[in-house]
Structure 1
Amino acid sequence: MLKIQEIREIIRLVDQSSIEEFMYEHEGSKIKLKKKGALAAQQKVVIQEQPVQQIPAQPSVQPVVQQNEPQQPVHTEEKKEESNLHKITSPMVGTFYNSSSPEAGPYVQTGTKVKQDSVVCIVEAMKLFNEIEAEVTGEIVEILVENGQLVEYGQPLFLVKPE
């Protein structure tokens, strides 16, 4: 068996040399040394192997999607329709109102034709009532929020089918 001083000397010599890995065997005892550069290379290989391991996990999910295949085209059509629609979004955080007062009728309903400057709702923020305009000429396809609902900045309020 090697003494501690001899092991330290071997470590120093391997460190100063261009050797990346050193292995010594004598009478059943083994010493294996690797430099940091060799470890970094091994770590890179491990990192590259992880995405390969994730790839087999994806096909196991795909059969579930394939089982629901009849529903998938419906979602695709809905997404295509939604991609053609213009979203009117809230320009601020506040409370959504669909009319100018509780007694008045709503500014717009599903199927209402709007112009770019048509007021479609009010968003109240800090006791100020801000009229929101359609920004596009078209037809209201869907109202995405309820009267009196709190809305966030950028939250979609209406879907409009542009003309």
Structure 2
Amino acid sequence: MLKIQEIREMIKLIDESTIHEFELEQNGTSIKMKKVNGAVQVAENPAPVQVSAPTAVPQTTSQVAPTQEKSVAALEKVAVEPVNEKVENLQYVTSPMVGTFYQASSPDTPPYVQAGSKVTKDSVVCIVEAMKLFNEIEAEVEGEIVEVLVKDGQLVEYGQQLFSVRPI
């Protein structure tokens, strides 16, 4: 099963690309994304299970299992978020390198920033550790932190979005 953050990243990539339709099948689950009127729509279906002998199990297409309802509701919510973010014209603080993300200078100090914090272009927002060097990352944008997109101690890639910022 894919994590919500991974699905969000895929939605953003599809939304920003010229791809109109995308389908992924992984670990018994398939996800299909389509652009309709400029918005990405997401549908999640369990992958078909191959059975060696046919089985007679009556099932109507109008019935949905409770776990599928929750998954679909969660995915519909995720599909709406990137559209709202585009309307708000958010900017992102991205990682300039591969390394480990830290929100604070040490485990017993408060985070540099959190949702609602105001930042300037030269505000330190986090640290990315690479090869035993702790690199302070600056916002490079003025505004208000909307969301921290990664967890403390998480490995990050070059160019990965770390924070969403609403410009002032």
- TM-score of the pair, normalised by structure 1: 0.53
Q: 1:102 aligns with which of 101, 107, 111?
A: 107
Match of 2:4 in 1: none
Q: Does 1:136 find its partner at 2:136?
A: no
Shift of 1:79: 1.7
> Residues 121, 76 of structure 1: CA spacing in aligned structure 2 closer, same or farther, 3 A cutoff?
same
Check 1:112–1:73 CA distance in 2 against 1; reply closer, same or farther (3 A cut): closer
1:89 match: 94
**Taking every aligned residue pair, what percent have the same amino acid on both sides?**
66
Q: What's the counterpart of residue 79 of structure 1?
A: 83
Deviations 1:51-74 (A, max 9, x none): xxxxxxxxxxx8xx7xx9xx9899
- SS of alignment partner, residue 110 of structure 2: coil
What is the rounded CA distance, in whole Å, between the counterparts of 1:141 and 1:85 in structure 2?
Answer: 9
- Aligned partners of 2:77 and 2:110: how far apart in 1? 38
Report deviation, 1:81.
Answer: 2.2
Partner of 1:122: 127
Unaligned runs of 5+ in 1: 1-61
Q: SS at 1:159's partner residue?
A: strand
Runs of 4+ that moved beyond 3 A: 71-78
Q: Which runs of 5+ in 2 are unaligned?
A: 1-35, 42-71
- Superposition pairs of residues 30-109 of structure 1, within 5 angstroms: 75=79, 78-82=82-86, 84-109=89-114
- For residues 101 and 158 of structure 2, the distance between their equivalents in structure 1, rounded to whole angstroms, comes to 12
CA RMSD, 1 decimal:
2.6
- The structure whose residues are more often strand, as a share, is 2
Tell me the secondary structure at the aligned position of residue 108 of structure 1: coil
Which of the pair is proportionally richer in helix?
1
Question: Residues 72 and 99 (structure 1 numbering): CA distance in 2 closer, same or farther, change over 3 Å?
Answer: closer
